[in-house]
A = this chain, B = another copy of it.
Amino acid sequence: MTVSKAAEKSAEATAKGAEAARARKDAPDDAGEALQLGELSEQLGYVLKRAQLKVFENFLHCMASLQLTPAQFSVLLLVEKNPGRNQTEVASTLGILRPNFVAMLDNLESRDLCARIRSTNDRRSHILVLTDKGKAVLSRAKKLVATKHEARLNELLGGANREALIAMLSKIANEF
């Protein structure tokens, strides 16, 4: 038997002991079901990922009537704030690769939320603009985010903590 296999057998014995104790429910401080997270609950990456999934899930739920994903909402917000920019500029600002931005825009354009316009300065570029409908939908989206999504967060953390959280996350996103 190899050293590694011997260690595995030893671990196996320990594991089976724990399993048997749990089966007999004779471990006093063992709830009997849930696993202990241990150091995992202090790992930034772990809680960050779990929190992000929850926030996106809630966002999608709040936006169900408008059928907007977080990524689509971010595109509409950025195009509204920066009229006259091309696909490369908008995509790179959002961390989206240009090839992957094509299908996203196809979707938004097919729903008449935004439009590509060939630039007269540089005929290679497509300038992005919100349509009338795009502006209206974005306006409704902002209201839904404020009254449902952000309101829920304020309720959970309080306004001051919410601002501190955003500030720390921004710092990590920009400087880590």
Q: Is A29 an interface residue (CB 8 A)?
A: no
Instruction: Give the Cβ gap from A132 to chain B, nearest Cβ, in Å.
Output: 3
> Which chain A residues in 113-154 approach chain B with CB under 8 Å?
115, 117, 119-121, 127-133, 135, 142, 145, 149-150, 152-153
Point out the residues of chain B lying under 8 angstroms from A59, CB to CB. Answer: 45
Point out the residues of chain B lying under 8 angstroms from A35, CB to CB. Answer: 78, 81-82, 85, 89-90, 93
Write the residues of chain A forming the contact surface with B, with a CB cutoff of 8 angstroms: 3-4, 6-8, 11-12, 14-20, 22-23, 34-56, 58-59, 70, 73-74, 77-78, 80-85, 89-90, 93, 95, 112, 115, 117, 119-121, 127-133, 135, 142, 145, 149-150, 152-153, 156-157, 161-162, 164-166, 168-173, 175-176
27 pairs across A/B with beta carbons < 8 Å? A6-B132, A11-B115, A11-B130, A12-B117, A12-B127, A12-B129, A15-B117, A15-B127, A19-B85, A19-B119, A19-B121, A36-B82, A37-B81, A38-B81, A39-B77, A44-B166, A45-B59, A45-B70, A46-B74, A47-B169, A53-B95, A55-B172, A156-B175, A156-B176, A157-B172, A161-B164, A165-B165
